[in-house]
Each structure stands twice: as structure tokens, then as C-alpha cells.
Amino acid sequence: MSLNPVLKWAGGKRHIAEVLAQKLPTSFNTYFEPFIGGAAFFLHLNHRPSVVGDINIGLTNFYGVLRESTQGLMSGIRAFAESFDALDNLSQKASYYSVRDAFNGNLNQRRAGLASLESRQEDARNFYVLNKLAFNGLYRENQKGLFNVPFNGRRTFPPVDEQRFFAMAQRLSGTTILTADFETVTKDAAEGDFVYFDPPYVPLTPSASFTSYSRGGFGLEEQNRLSRVMSELADRGVKAMLSNSATPIAREIYSDFRVDEIEAPRVISSKAASRGPVMEIVVRNYK
């Protein structure tokens, strides 16, 4: 049974998961997803064994805590939601920025791998709070790696579907979660395995880019490196599929592979008028 994500994430694949699933190999061993994001396709497939990862340590920590300490995470979120809803508007805004400061204040601990379980649980709760109360649900970092999205102005905390949390924790059971670059996440993929890449897209326009979601960005150099990794995986007998924008640049970068075009909705945008369907490409290193 398909399960909806617990996080809102730019470029999420919930609405096109079935279309993507129709393009999968008929069978495969281990499933790899190096840009896990909101985990919509991972949840849709529900395949075991799986290896998922992301370079965003706040995101991978959230999934780790969700799996290992579901009840504790839920308790922290419930407590914050009750407190937030009881505040006046100005205090709600201040509460959001207090959470953002606390999340950013733990950055060095997260990077060094020195965070205690209590600190990791606090980070996971704060990550979820920021995801629900940040403008348009965006995740964006500045050059120092600090989360910098402003408050969205909500007056009530969004309802929390606790059953979905526990169901997702079950889906993550036995899954390897890595905080690493896509090349590292897939280094152990072997013949018969399958990889799905959902990287930050080549932007449709210079102002429509989500590539600053990590401090290093994800530019054309990374897209070209990803294309090379797709080729290397093919040489190892690993089938790989990738989603990207249907731009001339993206088509050129991935021109060595099979490229199909699909229609996909865009639900994260600062302007409602620009949230309609757009064309995307699905790239495969197999027939």
C-alpha cells in the first residue's frame, strides 16, 4: 500500500510515483535512492532491502530518529504544537525563529557526528517544525550551511498524522540510511540492483532554482558527474533511473541514455499561478 510522506519537499514524487513505477525494471535486488528528500517514491515502492541517503544531515537525522524513536519524536512535536497554538501572532513568529536558531546552533555537532541521542531527537523535532512552518515548506541553506527560510505566518500548527509516522517508521525498518554524496551512497550497488536518482533539477529559469537546498548547491558540474555515475553503474550491471527538468541543458547532459518525457505537477512555488503542470524527463541507463 502506498504511503504519503510526512514531510513537504520540493520536487516530491507523490503525484507521479505510479508513472515512474511503470518504468522500473521487472525485478531487482537492492533499491538505492541517494536523494531521498520527502521519500515519496521510496514509500510508494516499499522495497526491501533498500539503501537511502542524502547529503542533508538534518534530513537523514530526521529519518533516523523517526525510525529509532518514533514515540519520543511524536511527543516532542505534539508538545511544540500545543505550545505554538496557544501563542499570539508575534510570539508564534518568535517561536519559529527560536527553533531555527536552535537547529542552526547544533550544526557543528551534527557535522562532527557528536550529537547525543537527546540532541538528535531535538534536531529531528526542530527539522519537522521548520518543514511545517517555513515559507512554502522549503528547505534552503546559506553558504555557511545554515537554514535560512523565513516563517510562513501560520496561526495553527498543521495537524499531525501519527499513524503515518508509525507506518513510515515501519517502512524504514531495516533500511540503510546514509548521510553522503550520491556517488558514495551508490558505491556498493552491484549487478542486479536498481538506483533511482532524484537530484535538484536543472532550473527552468535562473530564478526558479532549488539548488541552494544544500550549501554547496547542485550545479552543472554535479549534473555532469551524475551522468558519469549513471554510465559507471550501467557498466557494473546496475540499472538506474533519473528524474530531471525537460530543459535543453538537461537533455544534453543525459543524452547518452534513454530519455522519456512526462507531465508532472509543481506544488512548491512562491506564486500560485506557477504551480501548474510542467514537463519532466525520465532518464534510464537501460531499455
Model pLDDT for residues 225-277, shown as the tens digit of each residue: 999 999 999 999 999 999 999 999 999 999 999 999 999 886 554 454 555 68
Would residue 256 count as lying in a domain?
Answer: yes
Q: What are the two backbone dihedrals, phi and then psi, of residue 125, each rounded to the nearest 5 degrees?
A: -60, -45
pLDDT digits (tens, 9 = 90+) for 159-174: 999 999 999 999 999 9
52: β partners: 33, 177
Distance CA 148, CA 11 (A): 19
pLDDT of residue 283: 98
pLDDT at 210: 45
Number of domains comprising the chain: 2
Q: List Cα–Cα distances, 283 to 73, 145, 240, in angstroms.
A: 37, 30, 8
- 251 Cβ neighbours under 8 A, 6+ residues apart: 259, 281
Cis ω for the linkage preceding 49 (within 30 of 0): yes
Instruction: Name the pTM for this structure.
Output: 0.92
pLDDT surpasses 60 at 208: no
In the predicted structure, residue 211 carries a pLDDT above the cut 50: no
Q: Do residues 250 and 223 both lie within one domain? A: yes
Residue 197 has phi, psi (to 5 degrees) of -100, 125
Residue 44 or residue 264, greater confidence: 44
Within 8 A by CB and 6+ apart from 207, the residues are: none
Ramachandran assignment for 136, one of left (phi > 0), alpha (psi -120 to 50 degrees), beta (any other): left
Give the domain-ending residue among 138, 157, 188: 138
Cell readout for 240 is 538506474
187 and 277 housed in the same domain: yes
Instruction: Please give the Cα distance from 233 to 285 (Å, whole number).
Output: 8
Say whether both 191 and 222 belong to one domain. Answer: yes
For residues 184 and 218, state if they share a domain: yes
Q: Could you list the residue range(s) of the whole structural domain that residue 122 is in? A: 67-138
Q: What is the CATH number of the domain that holds 183?
A: 3.40.50.150
SS3 state at 31? strand
Of all residues in the chain, what percent carry a pLDDT higher than 90? 82
What's the average model confidence in pLDDT over 211-231?
A: 83
What pLDDT band is residue 214 in, cutting at 50, 70 and 90? Answer: low
Residue 21 domain flag: yes
Q: How many whole angstroms separate alpha carbon 211 and alpha carbon 218?
A: 5
Question: With bands split at pLDDT 50, 70 and 90, how would you rate the model's confidence at 63?
Answer: very high
Question: 180-199: per-residue pLDDT in tens?
Answer: 999 999 999 999 999 999 99
Task: Let me know whether 97 and 224 are in one domain.
Answer: no
Q: Is the domain of 49 the same as that of 174?
A: yes
Report d(CA 160, CA 116) in Å as an integer: 26
245 close to 280: Cβ distance less than 8 angstroms: yes
Q: What is the pLDDT of residues 70-126, one digit of tens each?
A: 999 999 999 999 999 999 999 999 999 999 999 999 988 888 888 898 999 999 999
CB 32 within 8 Å of CB 178: no
* Cα–Cα nearest to 218, from 268, 182, 170: 182
Phi, psi of 177 (to 5 degrees): -115, 120
DSSP state of 150: P
Question: Do residue 36 and residue 175 come from a single domain?
Answer: yes
